[in-house]
């Protein structure tokens, strides 16, 4: 089930970007996102017996790689399509990223969020200029609210990951990482809905066919690892992981990309995610969110073996509530 | 009282490095320290009505700019002088930096620390390979312990800031900053003993005579602001600031450098230091220690006016106890 890569197109359920589309995305988003630094840390190298390079998307606009995909999607729209604005459902980083992208293009954005979404996240999206539409905290209510906005406004839906333009944008982080560090043996990205990992894998394997690409998933939300093995979507009834960005399940599109281009998926224990997060704060002096700590947690747990290798890790984001740190709960 | 710049020499109480010495330091330390990134943050620009560039020395080896000065001092020693190792007194970042520098050169290091120094700081220095000599928590005991080590071992004392080689090393951060962002109007550095500010001011004014250089000091430890005005050392009986790296007082040497090259000193309130620290964590996603937040705190307090200017800020360090964050005390 390897899809035919196409440059663009959100309508085709299997459309995926190719390297050219990722390069085009990079040109398109250049003025609106940071070229984030790649950091190293001798003490984490010693801890993992590998040479690690961290591509710091926590230092990206809106604090997450999501700015890349959202900006690419919004600036890929024709003037006519963009005229009525954009809409998405997300209580997390994609909502903020879409608000940011829309404000940069000067169009309206609506973000559907559950009523119980944290006040700080709501304020953040509002500060970026989007309109929040609150709904009950379940999938049916969320889809109904999205449909309402689409009907009322004529806005375009930009899905958080099931969209070839979004995936192309997310792939630009790996493009930059491999420019800065061409001789990597392995690239690892966190794995939730699969948008980041799909874009990362397409970019990395296209540039360097011999590179290995790994996904990193919480053991408590291992739908992607199951789907990767079985070849069909295996959504879980409920997931309880501190890595709140990785609770979503794959789509047909991202499963296809991952089956085609990813070599392995590691699983991380909850305690290891917290430990990896704290180690990163203490030793690297950067603020990362639990989801961003999952690749390092997989190395600590030994579910991905990179000993002796030169390893790139996509640090996905840094949005955390500083009043509720996981080692203090 | 402008001292004659000399390239080196810790013995002359007024010796200061010139630009050539800072450039030589940069060559000397290149393989042992990070070239740290310069980050920007649109939301802090909006908050301060300025364009801010942050030179991230919190991402430096041992988590602080101190690695630069310590490495330069240790690698400036002749083989004969280095033979018996180095010693310093510091419960903070300079102790760790000296331990790191000595381990890189393969010589012994002793660090005199007060008995009540935090266990994590002691472990950190020990992990870096230095020997800790504990003493009572007062100046007389500290000096006696240092003298003991000097006599017993023949080690060389490397002072945390009152040393031309250390100052030259600290000045390399500004050198890199002005290479990356040549058109800065202002550079601001935190101000404790004055080593970082002296090196920063000499480098910046030598490269760009029209640039303004500001120091940033806690209002609760304003000995440098007083000394800057009066022209003589004005040590305070006791200082109670959360910015633990800035409690020290100037030396004759650093006061001379600052009087000669610094344009103004801003003072920050304690509450503003905590606010600036938290804002930096939340918006920039980097871990900075209270001392490193003092420049931004001065902008928030309006004691340094940089509105409309292009401003470089030296972010001095990121060593904090994650179990005791100041907004949770």
- Residues B320, B321, B327, B329: is their CA dihedral positive or negative? negative
A31 touches chain B (CB under 8 A): no
B323 touches chain A (CB under 8 A): yes
**Are residues B58 and B317 in contact, defined by beta-carbon separation less than 8 angstroms?**
yes
> Residues of A with catalytic annotation?
66, 91
Q: What residues of A are in contact with residue B328 (Cβ under 8 Å)?
A: 323, 328
Residues A152 and A176 in one domain: no
Distance from CA of B227 to the nearest CA of A (A): 33
Residues B57 and B72 in one domain: no
Of A192, A200, A270, which is closest to residue A227 (Cα–Cα)? Answer: A192
Residues A238 and A265 in one domain: yes
Residues B196 and B313 in one domain: yes
Distance from CA of A47 to the nearest CA of B (A): 13
Domain boundary residue, one of A157, A178, A198: A157
Compute the distance between CA of residue A243 and CA of residue A320 in angstroms, rounded to an integer. 11
> Given this model, what pLDDT does residue B211 score?
98
Over the stretch B77-122, which tens digit does the pLDDT of each residue have?
A: 999 999 999 999 987 899 999 999 999 999 999 999 988 887 878 8
Model confidence at B181: pLDDT above 50: yes
List the domain range (segments joined by +) for residue B48.
2-63+163-328
Interface test with B, best of A55, A285, A320, A327 (most B CBs within 10 A): A285
**Greatest Cα pair distance in chain B:** 56
Over the stretch B59-83, which tens digit does the pLDDT of each residue have?
A: 999 999 999 999 999 999 999 999 9
Residues A172 and A312 in one domain: yes
Across A278-300, b (16+ Cβ under 10 Å) vs e yields bbbbbbbbbbbbbbbbbbbbbbb
Helical packing angle, A164-180 and A19-29, nearest 10°: 90
Residues A265 and A125 in one domain: no
Over the stretch A258-301, which tens digit does the pLDDT of each residue have?
A: 999 999 999 999 999 999 999 999 999 999 999 999 999 999 99
B326 touches chain A (CB under 8 A): no
Over the stretch A229-244, which tens digit does the pLDDT of each residue have?
A: 999 999 998 788 999 9
Residues B54 and B85 in one domain: no
Residues B178 and B265 in one domain: yes
Residues A48 and A93 in one domain: no
Domain boundary residue, one of A139, A157, A175: A157
pTM for this one? 0.94
Domains in chain B: how many in total?
Answer: 2
Domain boundary residue, one of A157, A182, A207: A157
Report CB contact under 8 Å: B287, A286. Answer: yes
Q: What is the CATH number of the domain that holds B101?
A: 3.40.50.1100
Asked if the ipTM is above 0.90, the reply is yes
> Given this model, what pLDDT does residue B2 score?
37
- The whole-number average pLDDT for the span B27-47 is 97
Residues B145 and B206 in one domain: no
How many angstroms separate the Cα of A87 from the Cα of each of A154, B92, B237, B249?
A: 9, 50, 61, 56
Residues A291 and A181 in one domain: yes
Written as six digits, the tokens of B145 are 């312990």
**Are residues A6 and A167 in contact, defined by beta-carbon separation less than 8 angstroms?**
no
Question: B266 has which bridge partners?
Answer: B216
Model confidence at A304: pLDDT above 80: yes
Q: What residues of A are in contact with residue B61 (Cβ under 8 Å)?
A: 42
A93 touches chain B (CB under 8 A): no
Residues B233 and B321 in one domain: yes
């Amino acid at each position: 089930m390897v899809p035919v890569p196409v440059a663009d197109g959100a309508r085709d359920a299997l459309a995926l970007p190719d390297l050219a589309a990722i390069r085009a995305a990079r040109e398109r988003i250049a003025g609106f996102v940071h070229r984030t630094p790649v950091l190293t840390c001798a003490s984490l190298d010693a801890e993992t017996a590998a040479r690690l390079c961290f591509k710091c998307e926590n230092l990206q606009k809106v604090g997450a790689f999501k700015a890349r995909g959202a900006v690419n999607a919004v600036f890929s729209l024709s003037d006519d399509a963009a005229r009525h604005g954009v809409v998405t459902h997300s209580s997390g980083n994609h909502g903020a990223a879409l608000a940011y992208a829309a404000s940069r293009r000067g169009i309206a954005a609506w973000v559907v969020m559950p009523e119980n979404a944290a006040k700080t996240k709501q304020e953040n999206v509002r500060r970026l200029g989007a309109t929040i539409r609150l709904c009950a905290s379940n999938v049916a209510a969320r889809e109904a609210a999205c449909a309402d906005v689409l009907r009322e406004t004529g806005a375009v839906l930009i899905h958080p990951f099931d969209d070839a333009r979004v995936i192309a944008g997310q792939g630009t982080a790996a493009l930059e990482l491999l420019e800065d560090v061409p001789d990597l043996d392995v690239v690892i990205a966190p794995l939730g809905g699969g948008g980041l990992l799909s874009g990362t894998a397409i970019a990395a394997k296209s540039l360097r066919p011999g590179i290995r690409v790994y996904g990193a998933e919480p053991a408590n939300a291992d739908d992607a690892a199951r789907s990767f093995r079985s070849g069909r979507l295996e959504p879980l009834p409920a997931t309880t992981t501190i890595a709140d960005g990785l609770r979503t399940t794959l789509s047909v599109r991202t499963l296809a990309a991952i089956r085609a281009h990813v070599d392995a998926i590691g699983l991380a224990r909850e305690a290891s995610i917290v430990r990896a997060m704290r180690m990163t704060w203490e030793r690297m002096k950067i603020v990362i969110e639990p989801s961003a700590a999952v690749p390092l947690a997989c190395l600590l747990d030994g579910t991905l073996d990179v000993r002796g290798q030169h390893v790139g890790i996509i640090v996905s984001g840094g949005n955390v509530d500083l009043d509720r740190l996981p080692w203090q709960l």
